[in-house]
Structure 1
Amino acid sequence: MKDPVNTFLTTEAQQQIEEHIRDAEKITSGEIVVKVVSSSDGYAKACLLGGFIVSLLLAISAMLIIGSRDMWMFLGVFAALFVAMHELIRQSFALKRLFVSSAEKKIKVEEAAISAFYRRGIDRTVDHTGVLVYISIFEHRVRVVADKGINEKVEQEVWQEIVDMIVRGVHEQSQAEALCRAVDRCGAILASHFPRKQGDRNELADSIIFGRAAGR
């Protein structure tokens, strides 16, 4: 299956968003980073659970159809189906979603976003004014992670506007336009608290970061 992160944004859209990032950072000392991933976790347990349930139902149905009660035959059919169904669910976002709860998706996105924030060094800007806009396609979730310098002045609830803007844009299949607006809004929020100062330099790359699907 093609990794959806490869089709989330066109090359032209990427360039447009990156230009908006550069423009936003001209008015603030803050740093804006955008990361897009296909999935925040491989959800191995969901693949196992889904493979087991689907294979069990199919194996029982097959035995009923052929009219056999042979346990060894049943186990053989079940094992073959489990291998196939487990791989199918692992590769299919649509099927995998059936076996992943909303609560689990929320937790995994939260963990992955915070991990990316530190792994990418967004916490190491001079004034601790870095912001990560993290988008996870499988979970249909967006998380904004701000450094401590920003959190001292901007409440987390303020970033919900950014989250809602991007989620709505993705649902409307206008993610490029939504991300441009979101970046502009991030810049305005940051500029109101952290206006650009003389001698400010660009501490983090403006390029969008793309990540492959976890566990695939």
Structure 2
Amino acid sequence: MEHSPVRKLLTEAGQRQVEARIKAAEAGTSGEIVVMVVEESSRYRHASVVGALFSSMIVAVAVGHFQGGDGMWHFLGVFVPLFIVFHELLVRFAPLRRLFARKGDMADAVGKASLAAFYAKGINGTEAATGVLIYISLFEHMVRVVADKGINEKVDPDAWPELVGGIVQGIRSGEAAAALSEAIDRCGELLSRHFPIREGDRNELSNQIRY
């Protein structure tokens, strides 16, 4: 856990706060709330290649201009090593790679990864199909809410964008724990209206933040 994505987002106290709020929210509903934090939803290899091509081409042209080099072989002699170096930098350092990742590609990757996580983590396996995933992808600066079919049949889908917006804003302002806690409270309120706590209800999914 020490080097997990959760630690990039929350302090240990913040993590305990969020997990306590999940427990409190679920005390009033038969629904299950899961929070998951990931480093990134895709490796964006295309962005690494495009970024390396763009960067090495600009530098190679500039070097050729100042050195007075002429011809394709001189250009390639500078361009190829630069491409290798820039590509390695982009692969290894996410903030640099993000400069060349298209927003549409990131949104698509987060959508697919959050849905895959919903099934991979068994959130779709609750007794009444009342699991909901709050998925946070750090590289893309994006949040998605994935709700099971039981919730989608009763909760207005327009309720989720407001919840997502609050989390994103809180993370940007350095108040991730507070924003997540507020979102979990809101999620608990929405679920309790349609899925109140039942006699003999049990905690089907762990309250621990996933990563």
**Distance (whole Å) between structure 1 residues aligned to residue 169 and residue 72 of structure 2:** 51
Which range moves more in the overlay, 33-42 or 93-102?
93-102
**Distance (whole Å) between structure 1 residues aligned to residue 18 and residue 55 of structure 2:** 42
Root mean square deviation, CA, Å:
1.4
**Distance (whole Å) between structure 1 residues aligned to residue 6 and residue 73 of structure 2:** 43
User: Does 1:105 pair with 2:113?
Assistant: no
**Distance (whole Å) between structure 2 residues aligned to residue 53 and residue 70 of structure 1:** 19
Shift of 1:46: 0.6
Matches of residues 189-208 of structure 1 in structure 2 within 5 Å? 189-208=190-209
- What letter corresponds to residue 129 of structure 2 in structure 1? H
* Counterparts in 2 of 1:47 and 1:67: CA distance versus 1, 3 Å: same
**Distance (whole Å) between structure 1 residues aligned to residue 126 and residue 65 of structure 2:** 65
- Deviation readout 1:128-180 (Å, 9 max, x if unpaired): 00000001111111100000000000121111121011011011110111001
Matches of residues 151-166 of structure 1 in structure 2 within 5 Å? 151-166=152-167
The equivalent of 1:118 in structure 2 is 119
Gaps of 5+ in 2: none
Corresponding residue SS for 1:170? helix
Shift of 1:92: 2.7
Q: Highest relative contact order (Cα 8 Å, sep 6+), 1 or 2?
A: 1
Shift of 1:185: 0.8
Matches of residues 19-98 of structure 1 in structure 2 within 5 Å? 19-98=20-99
Q: Residues 5 and 37 of structure 2 are in contact (CA less than 8 Å); yes or no, is this contact kept in structure 1? A: no
Corresponding residue SS for 2:115? helix
* Counterparts in 2 of 1:105 and 1:76: CA distance versus 1, 3 Å: same
Moved over 3 A (4+): 2-6
- Deviation readout 1:164-208 (Å, 9 max, x if unpaired): 110110111101110011111111110011000001111111100
**Distance (whole Å) between structure 1 residues aligned to residue 7 and residue 179 of structure 2:** 18
Gaps of 5+ in 1: 211-216
Identity of aligned residues (%): 47
The equivalent of 1:127 in structure 2 is 128
Q: Residues 46 and 96 of structure 1 are in contact (CA less than 8 Å); yes or no, is this contact kept in structure 2? A: yes
Corresponding residue SS for 1:33? strand
* Counterparts in 2 of 1:4 and 1:19: CA distance versus 1, 3 Å: closer
The equivalent of 1:168 in structure 2 is 169
Q: Residues 5 and 137 of structure 1 are in contact (CA less than 8 Å); yes or no, is this contact kept in structure 2? A: no
Which range moves more in the overlay, 92-101 or 23-32?
92-101
TM-score by length of 1: 0.92
Q: Residues 109 and 141 of structure 1 are in contact (CA less than 8 Å); yes or no, is this contact kept in structure 2? A: yes
Corresponding residue SS for 1:156? coil
**How many aligned residue pairs are there?**
209
TM-score by length of 2: 0.95
- What letter corresponds to residue 135 of structure 1 in structure 2? I
**Distance (whole Å) between structure 1 residues aligned to residue 91 and residue 109 of structure 2:** 17
- Deviation readout 1:44-86 (Å, 9 max, x if unpaired): 0010000011001111111111111143332122111011101
* Counterparts in 2 of 1:5 and 1:47: CA distance versus 1, 3 Å: farther
Shift of 1:38: 1.5
* Counterparts in 2 of 1:130 and 1:3: CA distance versus 1, 3 Å: closer
